Amino acid sequence: MTATENAGTPPTDDAPVPDPNAVQITVNGVAHTARKGQLVIEAAADAGVYIPRFCYHERMTPVGKCRMCLVEADSGRGPAVTVSCMVPVMPDMKVETESPMAKRMQEGVLELLLANHPLDCPVCDKGGECPLQDQTMTHGPGESRFVEEKRHYEKPIPISDLVFLDRERCILCDRCTRFADEVAGDALIHFISRGNTTQVMTFPDEPFASYFSGNTVQICPVGALTAKPYRFKARPWDLEEIESTCTTCAVGCRTVVQSSRDELLRSQGVDSDPVNWGWMCDKGRFGFEAVRTERVTEPLVRTAHGLEPTGWNAALRSAVQLIEDGKLAAGPSAVAVIGGARGSNEDAFAWARLAHDVIDTPHVYAQMGDGLPVGMLAMPRATIDDTAAASTIVLLGPDLKEELPVLYLRVRDAVQKRRVRIVEFTPRESGLTSLAWKSAVYEPGGQVEAVRAALADPEIADQLAAGPVVVIAGRSNLAESSGATVQAVQTLLAGVPGATVLPAFRRGNVVGALQVGMRPRPGGLDTRGILQAAADGKIECLVLVGADPLADFPDTDLARRALAGARRIVSVDTHLSASAQHADVVLPAAAFGEKSGTTTNLEGRVTTLGRKVTAAGTSRPDWMIATAIARGLGTDLGFRSVDDVTDAIARMVDGYEGVTRDALADSADGVLSAPPATIAAIDPVEVEVPVRNSYDYRLVVTRKLYDAGVTVSNSPSLAHLAPGQRVHLHPLDVERVGVQPGADVRVSSSRSAAVMRVEADPTVLRGTAWIAFNQPGGNVGDLIDSTAIVTDVRIENL
Amino acid sequence: MARLNDDNVRLAHEIISRYPRRRSATIPLLHLAQEQDGYLTDDAIRHVAELVGATSAEVLGTATFYEMFKFEPVGTYLINICGTMSCALMGAGELMRHAEQTLGIPVGGTTPDGMFTLEHAECQAACTEAPCLQVNYRHRFRVTPADLDRLVEDLRAGRLGAEIPPHGTLARVRQSIPVESAAGAVTPEQAGAPAWFPAKDPA
Ligand code: SF4
Ligand code: SF4
Ligand code: FES
Ligand code: FES
């Protein structure tokens, strides 16, 4: 057909509509369709051409700092030197990444970058996985013309408790400093000085104490930043690795777990688009140290001399006996099982089958009395991506920075880059308060009132009516029953039809455990109920599956009475926790990195767990232990391998139909599960909050990222980061108590009294007292009465 | 010493209110701190960071970018001798050596009485008048060793007080910004007449 004939033909209906977002370019002579606004470096990558880079990072704003990505690009005005990480594609742009000119520029940049680089690769942690090494090999000139003396600095200096900086190696790419400012919001490192003496540095005496500092080590394109837990431990080529999911909290960051000689040595973040974007928090990144510290390596049974090591057969026989005796004494409902949130879906499922089908008790629960009722999972659920894409995020839960750190990063990003608005209800200033559009600080118990007031505010009402609203709901105060928060969420959802909920449940696999069955059957008790029953002498056998009520249940006194009142205790745990020390039998459980399986994060996303090292001692995965106990009790659960359990979950658990091994293998980002229909929505709650006596302070107890929990206290690099227990009062209240900040005061509740140091803290509401939970040497749990709606304390000068 | 004093805090708030973002006031506030203490102390940097809502590391990073901010005590008179091409050709090296002898300090040092600090500088944009120097950023042209001696003597005797104020005295920060050009969080009407303080009396 000739052109003239063609011109007269009317366009047919099925002619492709030109995509307004398509931009035609060529990369090294090959035609490619890029997206409008796309950076040249990205478009080239899509076309299969890798442009070398140091400062560019897909998850951060490009800054064009290193010039390594220079290419030759012609957008119609002749070839020009172009910084491909800063310049978007233009129609008909011709990009040359390998032309003589481009090569010359790349070689020149590398020669300059190396002018001051010490090239101490043999003693550098990064050697073997170093972008500077790699790109020098692929794009470098091979030889340098520089003969001058290089810059010298003191070899690594600590810039925080976890990170060391070797300024000689730094190529000033601005990745770490950009991350600190833009992603983490902790601009505690910055370029100092200029010219030849420019260096990354902290302010004197203000270390880079960010919860996210480990990410800078991962993204540093040279060995300038190294992490204390990994320094000089291995060379990259000695490492074996497997992809897994961090189960330290419920965000479920994707990670690659690396080991050498059967020892876990490092975790690195993996970029999962719907979840963590490659980031991890330092607790999740460095907490692997706990896997090799102070483990229970063999089964223990109680004898006249205390807990004594024994073999598996004997220990399993005792465990079975304890459960059978318990049933015999007062029927199956005298047995209760708490836990399952720290393991895999498989662990929880096997234990749920054992508890419900074999032991036949209704009293099973995966939460530790520090979350919201399981019925929260029945609310219309949002994913993390839904949350980031909402117009409004309502925070009615814990301080995300402290409890779900990488979710905090995602929400922070949504606010900063997408201008999502946060409406926050919190008992004290949180990590997101400074970014919140509206922040209501309420006195414990006052959240319902605060929500009603917000709904009545025309400006907030308009904002909530304007578009998608996601409520991040969780427990914001351990010294308060969950009732008021549940009522506040219900009030909010009633006022904002169409709002969805992202459950801010905290423990690693708590959503998975609850969904696959570690929850009470009708008539069953929750953890508080179980502990109360045990304290009342009604529990003949208490089984703790990776659960430590003494450390985690907010009301320590009740936990203590429960462990004393339970006639028999079986503990399955990785470490000999405070509660496990009260057990009659302790069965050693395999830990993170020692077992495979799947896990479910707070949005219901199921991802895989990788097994990289041999389990400590003779420890076994929880699911295997459950299977063995079931066999002892006369039932074959039918699980021969972890895959059998994964398959059984897909077959039997409502909401996990799609979560097959094939589906998991096919999807890098995991598969979303749905809450089982049998989880009933929570009936409307109405709490009556008692009036506060004006002499008293209403207690706020929250978690800090670093505490006295198993992960932190057994990770030598992290343990000393726990801030310790203090009571924080508004400065005017400190005055009212009549002491100087830093003095010891007596804090007494109806339960008990404790002496601790007082801190003047203007972020605390007047009339409230804030104390961090489960800190080393702390005892705030003694003050909390879990039956009360709120806990009031008196604070006195000693 | 250290944090900004009450008068300066008042002035700092005034300065901050004239910018659309608090952070934009960083440099003026650093000048204010330098005027107060003669150089930037860690405490002052921390205080400026609090005032503008940045971290101390960010303010330190900004401050260290600029030559005119000092992080150690500086003499009352800061003498910068240009050593770039034209001045070098016209005897800057000799002038520097002479200055070191006259003042009894090496380049970079401060006299024990706190009167003089001697520094090497790059081109001061007065190449036709080489060799040149600056005292507290006031030019002196075609300086011979004898001129230098006289200059030092005059400064010691306080004869140049009116012309050369002590190091750190603000010029630009204290200049009055006409109210109508203020871009602060307040409207020009609200801002009222500028409350700039007159520069300190150099005596
Ligand atoms: S320390 Fe590493 S990440 Fe930070 S600027 Fe230097 S090279 Fe870049
Ligand atoms: S945010 Fe949670 S899941 Fe992610 S690395 Fe930290 S502890 Fe692990
Ligand atoms: S990658 Fe483009 S300038 Fe660094
Ligand atoms: S070289 Fe000295 S002023 Fe230019």
Q: What CATH number does residue A566 fall under?
A: 3.40.50.740
Is pLDDT of A143 > 80? yes
Q: Is the pLDDT of residue A11 over 90?
A: no
Flag whether pLDDT at A623 surpasses 60. yes
Q: Rounded to whole angstroms, how far apart are CA atoms A149 and A141?
A: 20
C-beta A66 within 6 A of ligand 3: yes
Q: Which residues of B touch A (CB under 8 A)?
A: 42, 45-46, 54-58, 60-61, 64-65
What is the average pLDDT across A443-472? 96
Is the model's pTM score more than 0.80? yes
pLDDT in tens, A285-294: 999 999 999 9
How many Å apart are CA A217 and CA A205, to the nearest integer? 21
B201, pLDDT greater than 70:
no
Say yes or no: A87 and A42 in one domain: yes
Q: Which pLDDT tens digit goes with each residue over B131-146?
A: 999 999 899 999 999 9
Residue nearest to atom 6 of ligand 1 (CA): A170
The pLDDT of A679-705, averaged and rounded, is 93
Determine the pLDDT at residue A5.
Answer: 45
Q: Confidence class of residue A395 from pLDDT cuts 50, 70 and 90?
A: very high
Are A784 and A554 in contact by the 8 Å Cβ rule? The answer is yes
- Which residue's alpha carbon is at the smallest distance from atom 3 of ligand 1? A220
pLDDT tens track for A216-240: 999 999 999 999 999 999 999 999 9
pLDDT at B162: 80
Q: At A585, which helix (H) or strand (E)? A: strand A585-588
Confidence check: pLDDT of B74 > 60:
yes
- Tally of domains within chain A: 5
Place B17 in a pLDDT band, splitting at 50, 70 and 90.
Answer: confident
Residues A657 and A612 in one domain: yes
Which 3 state secondary structure label does DSSP give A428?
A: strand
Supply the range of the domain harboring residue A141: 25-150
Name the residue facing A187 among B42, B58, B64 (closest C-beta).
B58
In whole angstroms, give the CA distance from residue A465 to residue A454.
12
Residue percentage of chain A with pLDDT more than 90: 94
Please give the residue of chain B at the shortest CA–CA distance from A199: B61
> What does the pLDDT average to over B40-47?
96
Q: What is the DSSP letter of A6?
A: H
E strand or H helix that includes residue A32: strand A30-35
Amino acid present at B2 = A
Q: Which atom of ligand 3 is nearest to the CA of A53?
A: 1
Cα(A431) to ligand 1 centroid in Å equals 26
Asked if residue A264 lies in contact with residue A613, where contact means CB atoms within 8 angstroms, the answer is yes
All residues of chain A having their beta carbon less than 8 Å from the beta carbon of residue B61 are 190-192, 201
Q: Looking at the structure, do residues A764 and A714 belong to the same domain, yes or no?
A: yes
Element (H, E) at A115: helix A100-115
Instruction: Clarify whether residues A350 and A319 are in a common domain.
Output: yes
Q: At what angle do helices A131-139 and A100-115 cross, to 10 degrees?
A: 140
Q: Give A235→chain B minimum CA distance, Å.
A: 33
Please spell the DSSP secondary structure of A138-206, one letter per residue.
HHS-SS----SPPP---S-EESSSSEEE-GGG-----HHHHIIIIISS---EEEES-GGG-EEEEBTTB
Chains A–B, number of C-beta pairs less than 8 Å apart = 39
Question: Does the pLDDT at position B86 exceed 80?
Answer: yes
SS3 (DSSP) at A793 = strand
Burial of residue A521, with CB atoms counted within 10 A of its CB: 0-12 exposed, 13-18 middle, 19 or more buried: middle
CATH number for the domain formed by residue range(s) B6-71: 1.10.10.1590
Q: Which of B23, B55, B71 to mutate to test the interface with A (most CBs of A within 10 A)?
A: B55
List, for residues A588-601, the tens digit of each pLDDT value.
999 999 999 999 99
Q: Which atom of ligand 2 is nearest to the CA of A285?
A: 5
The reply to whether A19 falls in a domain is no
Whether A513 is covered by a domain: the verdict is yes
CB contact under 8 A, B58 and A192: no
CA–centroid distance, A439 to ligand 1, in Å, is 36
Confidence of residue B198 (pLDDT cuts 50, 70, 90): very low
Q: Which ligand is nearest to the CA of B83?
A: 4
pLDDT at A634 over 70: yes
Vertex A665: Cα angle to A663 and A671 (nearest 5): 45
Report d(CA A269, CA A472) in Å as an integer. Answer: 24
How far is the CA of A524 from the CAs of A333, A533, A544, A681, B53, in angstroms? Answer: 8, 11, 16, 16, 52
Is B111 exposed, middle or buried (CB count within 10 Å of its CB: 0-12, 13-18, 19+)?
middle
Can you give the pLDDT at residue A373? 94
pLDDT above 90 for B165: no
Does residue A597 sit in the same domain as residue A466? no
User: In a 3-state reduction of DSSP, which class is residue A646?
Assistant: helix
Whether residues A556 and A423 share a domain: the answer is no
Looking at the fold, whether A543 and A654 belong to one and the same domain comes out as yes
Cβ–ligand 2 distance for A249 under 6 Å, the answer yes
Instruction: Answer whether residue B1 shows pLDDT above 90.
Output: no
Report the residue of chain B nearest A185, measured CA to CA. B55
Is the pLDDT score of A648 beyond 50?
Answer: yes
Q: What is the 3-state secondary structure (H, E, C) of A217-243?
A: HHHCCCCCEEECCCCCCCCHHHCEEEE
Tell me which H or E stretch contains A609.
Answer: strand A605-609
- Identify the band that residue B199 occupies on the pLDDT scale cut at 50, 70 and 90: very low
Residue pair A267/A228 in contact (Cβ under 8 Å)? The answer is: no
A164 in the same domain as A123: no
Question: Which residues, 6 or more positions from B61, have their beta carbon under 8 angstroms from its beta carbon?
Answer: A190, A191, A192, A201
Whether residue A252 has pLDDT greater than 60: yes
d(C-alpha A527, C-alpha A510), whole Å: 13
Give the Å distances, CA to CA, from B145 to A553, B95, B195: 81, 6, 44
Say if residue A394 is in the same domain as residue A474.
Answer: yes
A250 occurs within a structural domain = no
Does residue A237 form part of some domain?
no
pLDDT at A14: 67
From chain A, pick out residues whose CB is under 8 angstroms from the CB of B54: 187
What CATH number has the domain bearing residue A174? 3.30.70.20
Å between A402 CA and nearest CA of chain B: 20
Same domain, A209 and A221: yes
Contact assessment for residue A196 and residue A151, using Cβ atoms and an 8 Å cutoff: yes
The answer to whether residues A355 and A400 belong to one domain is no
User: For chain B, which residues make up each domain, given as ranges?
Assistant: 6-71, 77-157
Task: Tell me the residue ranges of DSSP E strands in A410-557.
Answer: 421-426, 438-441, 469-473, 500-503, 541-545
Q: Read off the pLDDT of residues A240-249 as tens digits, 9 standing for 90 and up.
A: 999 999 999 9
DSSP string covering A446-458: -HHHHHHHHHHSH
For the cut 70, the answer to whether the pLDDT of residue B43 exceeds it is yes
pLDDT exceeds cutoff 80 at A7: no
Burial of B101 (0-12, 13-18, 19+ CB in 10 A): exposed
Q: How many CA atoms lie within 13 A of A778 on its CB side?
A: 30
**Ligand 4 atom closest to Cα of residue B86:** 1
Residue written as token pair 């590398």: A110
- pLDDT score of B203: 40
pLDDT category at A15 given cuts 50, 70, 90 is: low
**Contact list, B58 vs chain A (CB under 8 Å):** 181, 187, 190
Are A632 and A715 part of one and the same domain? no
Using the beta-carbon criterion (under 8 Å), do A187 and B54 form an inter-chain contact? yes
Q: Determine the average pLDDT of the residues in A405-411.
A: 98
How many whole angstroms from A170 Cα to the centroid of ligand 1?
5
Give A235 Cα–ligand 1 centroid separation in angstroms.
20
Q: Which residue has better confidence, B143 or B179?
A: B143
A414: nearest Cα among A385, A381, A434: A385
The stretch A301-310 carries a mean pLDDT of: 96
**Which among A181, A194, A202 has CB closest to B65?**
A194
Domain end point (choices A194, A228, A262): A228
Indicate if ligand 2 lies below 6 Å from the C-beta of A284: yes
Q: What is the pLDDT of residue A408?
A: 98
From first CA to last CA, the distance across chain B in angstroms is 20
Measured in angstroms, how far is the CA atom of residue A405 from the centroid of ligand 3? 29
Counting ligands in written order, the one closest to the CA of B132 is 4
Q: Whose CA is nearest to atom 8 of ligand 1?
A: A173
Could you tell me if the CB of A53 is within 6 A of ligand 3? yes
Minimum-distance ligand to the CA of A214? Answer: 2
CA of A250 to the centre of ligand 2 (A): 7
CATH code of residue A103: 3.10.20.740
Where is the domain boundary, A195, A228, A261?
Answer: A228
What is the CATH superfamily name and number for domain B77-157? Answer: Glutaredoxin (3.40.30.10)
- Per residue in A499-534, pLDDT (tens digit) is 999 999 999 999 999 999 999 999 999 999 999 999
Distance from Cα A51 to the centre of ligand 3, integer Å: 9
Task: With CB atoms and an 8 Å threshold, state whether B60 touches A203.
Answer: yes
Of A100, A131, A150, the position where a domain reaches its end is A150
β-pairing, A744-748 vs A753-760, is: antiparallel
Q: Coil, strand or helix: which one is A423?
A: strand
For residue B64, give the nearest of A181, A188, A192 by CB distance. Answer: A192
Q: What is the pLDDT of residue A2?
A: 41
Instruction: Give ipTM to 2 decimals.
Output: 0.89
Nearest to A187 among B42, B57, B64 (CB): B57
Asked if the Cβ–Cβ distance from A206 to B56 is below 8 Å, we say yes
- Smallest CA-to-CA distance from A755 within A730, A782, A787, A786 is with A782
DSSP structure class, residue A117: -
Are A203 and B65 inside 8 Å of each other by CB? no
Rounded to 5 degrees, what are φ and ψ at A241? -145, 160
Atom of ligand 2 nearest to the CA of A276: 4
Decide which of B170 and A472 is more confident: A472
Instruction: Kindly report the three-state secondary structure assignment for every residue of B44-78.
Output: HHHHHHHHHCCCHHHHHHHHHHCCCCCCCCCCCEE
pLDDT for the residue B189: 53
Cα–Cα separations (whole angstroms), residue A152 to A118, A166, A197, A694, B151: 9, 10, 10, 62, 39
Q: What is the pLDDT of residues A559-614, one digit of tens each?
A: 999 999 999 999 999 999 999 999 999 999 999 999 999 999 999 999 999 999 99
pLDDT at residue A199 greater than cutoff 80: yes
